[in-house]
Amino acid sequence: MRFAAAAAALLALALSGCGSGRTADAPAAVKGPSEHFTIGVGGHPAWLQLAVLAAEQEHGLMQRPDLGRDEGMIFVYARPQRQSYWMRNCPEALDIAYVTADGGIAEIYPMYPFDERPVLSRSDQVKYAVEMRQGWFAANGVRPGAGIDLKAVAGALRARGFEPADYGLQ
């Protein structure tokens, strides 16, 4: 009888450890730079990685020959500035959209594999840059004047452990 009671107590203790280990108030784990987030670009869903830290922005989509049809990267900056991108170690042709603080796409340019010539923005008001497979913007009818979903960008920043307000978002 004593053995049965002890066994039942041990079983109850063991079972209480099952589950997620998280309480209802515990925050979700912070997502890393390889995670993708669905962000609307010109009204079309795109599956984007966020490049926020300098090392992430410097690496970008280098050595990525396998982008999916709607896959790309969004570069997020704390303040608007003139931008310049190149294609060092990038084997896949891309298009880049330079985006202003209000989420408006200002400029779109093609970029070619391994081309180290800079692709400069004309504007000094660029706060985001979105890289997609070459032809994605045209195929989806996304042109300058279209916008990106800044609420989704803010949510992705939060999921990555960044404070959206630090990037001018709520």
Instruction: Provide the pLDDT confidence category of residue 16 given band limits of 50, 70 and 90.
Output: very low
The pTM assigned to this predicted structure is 0.83
Q: Which CATH superfamily is domain 33-167 in?
A: Protein of unknown function DUF192 (2.60.120.1140)
CA gyration radius, the chain: 22
State residue 11's pLDDT score: 37
Average pLDDT over residues 156-168: 97
Average pLDDT over residues 130-141: 98
**Could you give phi then psi for residue 147, rounded to 5 degrees?**
-135, 170
- Is residue 130 within 8 A of residue 74, CB to CB? The reply is yes
Query: What token pair was written down for 95?
Result: 């298009």
pLDDT, the chain, mean: 87
d(CA 103, CA 167): 12
9/43: higher pLDDT:
43
State residue 25's pLDDT score: 52
State residue 27's pLDDT score: 56
Which of 4-13, 44-53, 129-138 is predicted with the least confidence, judged by mean pLDDT?
A: 4-13
